[in-house]
């Protein structure tokens, strides 16, 4: 019986275990924020951003960031139709209107021309999600946001290790968000981070994250406004600190696995892999294959074959507008087409070359 290949798996070493153990044994009372502070500082330093606030999830970080910008009823937020629901749920929770636009067929991220065409008087922000580690066209989106006086927000949950002209994904827009869910490049089990270099915005989110209690408020149990409770625990942060101390290795290994897939697949015709345009680095969170339409490969065929060979394949995100809580936007032709003939490939730190060969063999079996 061959081993089952999972699509992701965290890399947990003695360091994570030691820090978590220390936090569990000693991280209480006056020390209850020690690992949190260290993790936030180390993560901000890695990213090159001014401020970082650890949260219980990326969804929570996004919710607070949008709320701090005053986004609500009547406001429109532009994002790609191809996305995980976590990116759009906070928009709806705040009463704002998500506007789904089509993706670029190469990056699978926001198509800047479609973004421009979707802007109205009500548009407040462009939510750029760097899908699977692929970067959005940050330069053009920044230009559009500046010209039309919009916020550019980065959901960089999938883009740890990705860089645009030397700047790390998540550190470029008005604010950025990250997820440390168990499937992500850096994990704390569940968890997230809000990052910004805007000190005013940081203070607002810090207050919101503490049930609306400003850190300058001296009265006990006195919220000045209605806030949120999306905090990370010190024990999770202990694991996070160990992970961020290993971040270069975690990213390098993701990139190495992707390049091994690329070596094994790129000489074949009929498929497309994650791009890495000049001036960018792809953090390679999730190696992905899109098969040419004329090969006739379907999602069901892919899932069946991977299942047969004990490999956990992951479907490419369905268009958000195809989900029951939204209105179908079939004019987003690329977003509706690509997932029908695409699959995410397994990638995790301790994956062996033999595992990579096994996965690549399955992909190749569809090519000839
Ligand atoms: C994983 C992910 C999220 C959700 O993160 P949580 O920590 O589960 O809230 C949000 N956005 C993107 C792009 C993701 O990949």
CA 169–ligand 1 middle distance (angstroms): 15
Atom of ligand 1 nearest to the CA of 285: 15
Q: State how far the Cα of 236 lies from the Cα of 20, in Å rounded to an integer.
A: 7
With a CB cutoff of 8 Å and minimum separation 6, the contacts of 230 are 55, 56, 57, 60, 61, 63, 64, 192, 209
**Angle, CA of 260, 266 and 271, to the nearest 5°:** 120
Of the options 3.30.2450.30, 3.30.70.100, 1.20.970.10, 3.90.1150.10, the CATH number for the domain spanning 247-365: 3.90.1150.10
Q: Which CATH class is domain 14-245?
A: alpha beta
CB under 6 Å to ligand 1: residues? 57-59, 84, 86-87, 129, 155, 157-158, 179, 181, 192
> Do residues 206 and 73 make contact, with C-beta atoms less than 8 angstroms apart?
no
From 97, 93, 26, select the one nearest 59 (Cα to Cα): 93
How many Å lie between the centroid of ligand 1 and the Cα of residue 292? 28
Q: Are 58 and 155 in contact (CB under 8 A)?
A: yes
- Residue 313 has a pLDDT of 87
Residue 318 is encoded by which pair of tokens?
A: 């369905």
Residues β-bridged to residue 54: 193
Cβ contact 47:186 at 8 Å: no
Best residue for ligand 1 mutational test, from 54, 55, 87 (most atoms within 8 Å of Cβ): 87
Q: How far apart are CA 181 and CA 347, in angstroms?
A: 15
Between the CA of 179 and the centroid of ligand 1 the distance, in Å, is 5
Cα–Cα distance between 129 and 137 in angstroms, integer? Answer: 10
Q: Which atom of ligand 1 is nearest to the CA of 61?
A: 9
Q: Among 108, 157, 173, 180, which residue has the most ligand 1 atoms within 8 Å of its CB, making it the best to mutate?
A: 157
Q: How far is CA 210 from CA 34, 172, 191, 220, 228, in A?
A: 17, 25, 16, 13, 7
Give the Cα separation of 180 and 184 in Å (integer): 6
Q: How far is the CA of 192 from the centre of ligand 1 (A)?
A: 8
Please tell me the residue having the least CA distance from ligand 1 atom 14: 157
Contact by Cβ (8 Å): 46, 170: no
Quote the longest CA-to-CA distance of the chain: 71
Number of neighbouring beta carbons within 10 Å of residue 16: 21
What integer pLDDT is reported at residue 1 of this predicted model?
A: 56
DSSP at 316: P
Task: List C-alpha distances in Å: 51 to 34, 39, 323.
Answer: 16, 12, 35
**253 close to 77: Cβ distance less than 8 angstroms:** no
Task: Give the orientation angle of helix 353-365 with respect to helix 247-265, to 10 degrees.
Answer: 40
Å from CA of 176 to ligand 1 middle:
12
Atom of ligand 1 nearest to the CA of 179: 7
Nearest CA to ligand 1 atom 2: 157
Say which residue the tokens 């970080």 belong to.
61
Domain boundaries along the sequence of the chain? 14-245, 247-365
Classify residue 342 as left (phi > 0), alpha (psi -120 to 50) or beta.
Answer: beta
φ, ψ (nearest 5 deg) of residue 315: -70, 145
**Residues linked to residue 193 through DSSP beta bridges, in sequence order:** 54, 178
In the reported structure, the alpha carbon of residue 348 is separated from the centroid of ligand 1 by a whole-number distance in angstroms of: 18
* Strand (E) or helix (H) holding 52: strand 51-55
Q: How far is the CA of 83 from the centre of ligand 1 (A)?
A: 10
Q: Is 308 helix (H, G, I), strand (E, B) or coil?
A: helix
62 C-alpha to ligand 1 centroid (Å)? 9
Residue 59 CA, closest ligand 1 atom number: 9
Of the residues 179, 184, 284, which should be mutated to test ligand 1's pocket, given the most ligand atoms within 8 Å of the CB? 179
Name the 3-class secondary structure at 166. coil
DSSP string across 114-146: HHHHH--TTEEEEEEE-GGGPPP-HHHHHHHHH
Closest residue CA from atom 10 of ligand 1: 86
pLDDT mean values, one per 10 residues, the chain (368 residues): 89 98 98 98 98 98 98 98 98 98 98 98 98 98 98 98 98 98 98 98 97 94 96 98 98 98 95 97 98 95 95 96 98 98 97 97 92
How close is the Cα of 184 to the center of ligand 1, in Å?
A: 9
Q: Give the pLDDT confidence score for residue 111 in this predicted structure.
A: 98
Return the pLDDT at 326: 98
């Amino acid at each position: 019986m061959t081993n089952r290949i999972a699509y992701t798996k965290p890399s947990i070493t003695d360091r994570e275990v030691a820090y978590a153990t220390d936090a569990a044994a000693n991280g209480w009372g006056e020390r209850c924020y020690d690992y949190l502070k260290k993790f936030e500082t180390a993560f901000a330093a890695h990213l090159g951003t001014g401020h970082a606030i650890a949260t219980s999830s990326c969804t929570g970080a996004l919710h607070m960031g949008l709320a701090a910008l005053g986004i609500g009823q009547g406001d429109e937020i532009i994002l790609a139709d191809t996305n995980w629901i976590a990116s759009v749920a906070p928009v709806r929770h705040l009463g704002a209107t998500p506007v789904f636009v089509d993706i670029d067929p190469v990056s699978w991220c926001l198509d800047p021309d479609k973004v421009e065409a979707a802007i109205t008087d009500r548009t407040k922000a462009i939510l750029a999600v760097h899908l699977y580690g692929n970067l959005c066209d940050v330069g053009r989106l920044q230009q559009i946001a500046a010209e039309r006086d919009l916020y550019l927000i980065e959901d960089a949950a999938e883009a740890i290790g990705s860089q645009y002209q030397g700047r790390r994904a998540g550190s470029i827009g008005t604010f950025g968000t990250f997820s440390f869910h168990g499937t992500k490049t850096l994990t704390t089990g569940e968890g997230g981070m809000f990052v910004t270099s805007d000190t005013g915005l940081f203070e607002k989110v810090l207050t919101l994250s503490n049930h609306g209690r400003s850190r300058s408020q001296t009265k006990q149990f006195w919220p000045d406004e209605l806030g949120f409770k999306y905090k990370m625990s010190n024990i999770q942060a202990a694991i996070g600190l160990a992970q961020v101390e290993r971040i270069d290795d975690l990213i390098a290994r993701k990139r190495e696995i992707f390049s091994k897939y690329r070596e094994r697949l790129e000489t074949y015709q009929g498929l497309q892999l994650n791009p890495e345009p000049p001036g960018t680095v792809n953090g390679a969170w999730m190696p992905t294959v899109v098969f040419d339409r004329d090969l006739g490969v379907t999602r069901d065929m892919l899932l069946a074959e991977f299942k047969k060979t004990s490999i956990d394949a992951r479907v490419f995100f369905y268009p958000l507008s195809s989900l029951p809580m939204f209105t179908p936007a079939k004019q987003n032709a690329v977003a509706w087409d690509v997932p029908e003939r695409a699959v995410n490939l397994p990638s995790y730190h301790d994956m062996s070359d033999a595992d990579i060969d096994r996965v690549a063999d399955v992909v190749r079996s569809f090519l000839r």
